[in-house]
A and B are shown apart, each in its own frame.
Chain A
Amino acid sequence: MSDSEILMRVEHLVKHFPVMRSRYLLFSYQAGAVKAVDDISFTLRRGETLGLVGESGCGKSTTGRAILQLHKPTSGHVFFEGTDLVGLKKEQMRRMRRKMQLIFQDPYASLNPRMTVQEIIGEPLLVHQIAPEKEIEERVKSLLKLVGLNPAFAKRYPHEFSGGQRQRIGVARALALQPSLIVCDEPISALDVSIQAQVVNLLEDLQKEFNLTYLFIAHDLSMIRHISNRVAVMYLGVIVELTGRSELYKNPLHPYTQALLSAVPVPDPTVEEKRHRIILEGDVPSPVNPPSGCRFRTRCPLAKEICAEQRPEFREVGPDHWVACHLV
C-alpha cells in the first residue's frame, strides 16, 4: 500500500503509568508501572473507520490519547502523514493537532458548563486563528446545522441539552477545525439505544461528506461491527487480533476474540437458542503485574506451556489478518 493511503502509522507504542510509593512519607520512588499500552503497532488508512474494541481497562482509551500525544508515550513512534508526533515540540504539536480531534464518552463532563455552545464550538477556531472573530458566529451556526441542531441554540448552555444533543455539540466542536482524523472515545456508550443510532448515523454521514478517518473506540462489539471497516481487539494493553470487519466476525482466530464474540447477546431469541457460548473463567489480571508470555494465557481455554514462556509475535497469518497467538 502506498504511503499516501496511510494517514497514521503507529509503531511499537508503549505507555506505562508509574506507580509511586514513598518511604517515611519523604522519599518517593517508582514501585512499578501500570502497563496500560504495551507495544502495539497498527496503521490507519485514509477515510476508514478502525474499530478498537476491548473490555474496561484493556488500554483502548489510553491508546487513543497516546496517539494524539495527550498522554506522552513512554516509547514508540506515531507517524501522522509522515511526521513523527513523538518528540515534537509543544508549538509544533499544537499545529498538528488541528488535524486530529477527539470526541469524548461523557457528554456531561466534556463540555464546560460555564460556556455557551457558541463559545465551546468557537474556541478551537479562535485558538488556531482559523477564522476572524466576526466570522466565527456564522461558522458555529453552520456547524450546528451540520450536526442537526438548531443554530438558534448557539447562545444556550450545555445543561439545557439532552445527552444526545450534547454529544452532537461535541461532534461539532471536533469538526470545527476540519480535521482529517477523529478519535471517537466511546462516543455513544452513555446514550440510550434509540439515541445511539441517531449519533452513529450522524458520524457515518459526516465521514462520507468530509472523508474523515475515525479511530472508533468502544466495548460494544455489535456497534463496532456496524461502523468499522477494520477492527482491532485489545486485551490487557496489547492488540491480539486485527483484521477486516467481516473477516473478524466470520473467522476470528484468537481465542480471546472468539470468546468475546460468543459472549455478545444477539437480539433474536431463535438465534440465541442455538448459540454456543465460550464462558471465560475469572477476571482480567492487573495491568501492573500482567502474566508472563501471552497476556491472555491465564484465562485461555487452550493455553500451553509455550504461552507462559514467550510473548506471541503479532504476525500476519492471512491477507490483512494479524494475530498474536502461538496456537494459530
Chain B
Amino acid sequence: MANILTVEGLETQFKTQDGTVHAVNGVSFVLKEGETLGIVGESGCGKSVTMMSMMRLIPMPPGKVVAGLALFQGRDLLSMSDAEVRSVRGSQITFIFQDPMTSFNPVLTIGRQLAEPAEIHLNMTKKQAYDRAAEMLALVGIPKPKDRLDDFPHQFSGGMRQRAMIAMSLVCTPQILIADEPTTALDVTIQAQIVELVKGLRDKLGMAIIWITHDLGIIAGLADRVGVMYAGYIIEEAAVKDLYREPAHPYTIGLLGSLPRLDETSNRRLTSIDGLPPVLMAKPTYCPFAPRCRYAYERCWKENPALVTIDTNHRTACWIDTKTGRPR
C-alpha cells in the first residue's frame, strides 16, 4: 500500500529559562494508507510533540521545529504556508486529544463545534453542516443526536464527550486520524467502548490512524505497527506481533517486563527499569538509554545508535543484539 505520510529527521526544540530542551531529536517514520500506527512511550519522551510539530501546532516561540520533513501526499507540511496547513488540518488530517473536557469550547454548543469544520472545509450551509453534525453523532453511537446538538460540552459525560470529539474529527472524512492518548482519562469500561468504536469506524471509513499512548495493552489489540519512543527518538519499530513476541531494544524489553498482566499465572516479580528518563537539555551524543541499560558497554557511552533494520519490518536503535547479549 502507498505511503500516505512520510516523516523524516524531525527535530523540535523548546527554549526555556534553563536552556534549550531537545524534545524530539530526529524522528522518522512512514504511515501507509489505512494502517494503524501505535506510538508508545512514557511521559516526556516526545510522542505528542512529534505529532504537534508535524501538524504545525507547536507554539513558536518557545518551540521550534529545527529540522525535518513531513510529506503528506507528496507535500511538505512543514514548509507549507499557514493557509495551506489550515486546509489540511481538521479536514484531511484530524486530531483527538486526551482530555475531552478541555478540548471543547465550553461556551459553544456541541452542534456549533461539530458544524464548524463542515462549514469551513466542505463549504456547507449552516443547515447542511448541522445535519452533518447530527449524522456524525449518530455514527459514534450517541442516542437522539438531533436533540443533543444544542447541548453544551458539560452536559455530556466523559465517555460521550470523547465520542463527540471523535465525531468532530470525522466530519470531513479525514485520511489520517491522530489520536493522542484518547482513552487515558477514561475508565476501563468506557475505554473499551471507545476502542471498539474507533476500530469499527476504521473498518467502515478506512482512514489511517496514529494512536499515541503509554499503554502497551491498548496498542496490542489495535495497531498494525508500533513505534516505541524514548528521549525524543524512535528506538524500536516493528509489526505489532513481532514487537511483543521478540522485543529487541532493552527499553522495550524492560517496559514489557514491568507490566503486570491480567492473564498472568505465576507470581513473578516485576522487572523494573532502574533510574529515570533523561532530562534533554542537550542532544544526546551517546545512547540516551545507556544509563538505565543493563547491557550497556563502552560503545553505548560514545555513539548514539541509529535505527537499523534487523528483520523484515523490524528496526531498532541499539549497539547490542539483545538475543545473544553481544554487540551487533
- The residues of A with any CB-CB pair to B shorter than 8 Å are 55-56, 162, 164, 192-198, 200-201, 204, 219, 221-223, 225-227, 249, 259-273, 275, 277, 279-280, 283-284
Contact = CB atoms under 8 A, between A and B. Distances in A.
Across the A-B interface, the 4 shortest Cβ-Cβ residue pairs: A265-B217, A226-B260, A272-B221, A197-B258
Nearest to A202: B272
B260 A222 contact: yes
A235 to B, nearest CB: 10
Contacts of B220: 265-269, 271-272
Contacts of B263: 266, 268, 271
A283 B272 contact: no
Nearest to B221: A272
B274 A266 contact: no
Contacts of B274: 198
B271 to A, nearest CB: 7
Contacts of A201: 269-270, 272
A225 B215 CA distance: 17
B264 interface: yes
A221 B192 contact: no
Contacts of B96: none
17 contacts: A193-B214, A194-B254, A197-B257, A197-B270, A197-B271, A222-B217, A226-B264, A260-B189, A263-B191, A265-B195, A265-B220, A266-B261, A267-B217, A267-B244, A271-B263, A280-B189, A283-B158
Interface string B235-276: 000001100110000000011111111111001011111101
B42 A193 contact: yes
A309 B283 CA distance: 65
B196 A277 contact: yes
Nearest to B292: A194
B82 to A, nearest CB: 35
Contacts of A260: 188-189
Interface string B1-36: 000000000000000000000000000000000000
Contacts of B309: none
Contacts of A259: 189
B189 A200 contact: no
Contacts of B244: 267-270
Interface of B: 42-43, 157-160, 187-193, 195-196, 214-221, 240-241, 244-245, 254-264, 267, 269-274, 276-277
A153 B191 CA distance: 40
A221 B216 CA distance: 14
Nearest to B187: A55
B261 A194 contact: no
A194 B254 CA distance: 8
Nearest to A58: B187
A200 B272 CA distance: 9
A55 to B, nearest CB: 4
Given A225-B260, A267-B261, A268-B261, A200 B192 contact: no
B264 A225 contact: yes
Given A192-B214, A280-B189, A280-B192, 4 more contacts: A192-B43, A193-B42, A198-B274, A223-B260
A23 B52 CA distance: 50
A296 B75 CA distance: 52
Contacts of B188: 55, 219, 221, 260, 263-264
Q: Which of B214, B267, B272 has most A Cβ within 10 Å?
A: B272
Nearest to B242: A269
B190 A283 contact: yes
Contacts of A195: 272, 276
Contacts of B257: 197
A284 B254 CA distance: 36
B146 to A, nearest CB: 19
A99 to B, nearest CB: 27
Given A192-B214, A222-B217, A269-B221, A277 B192 contact: yes
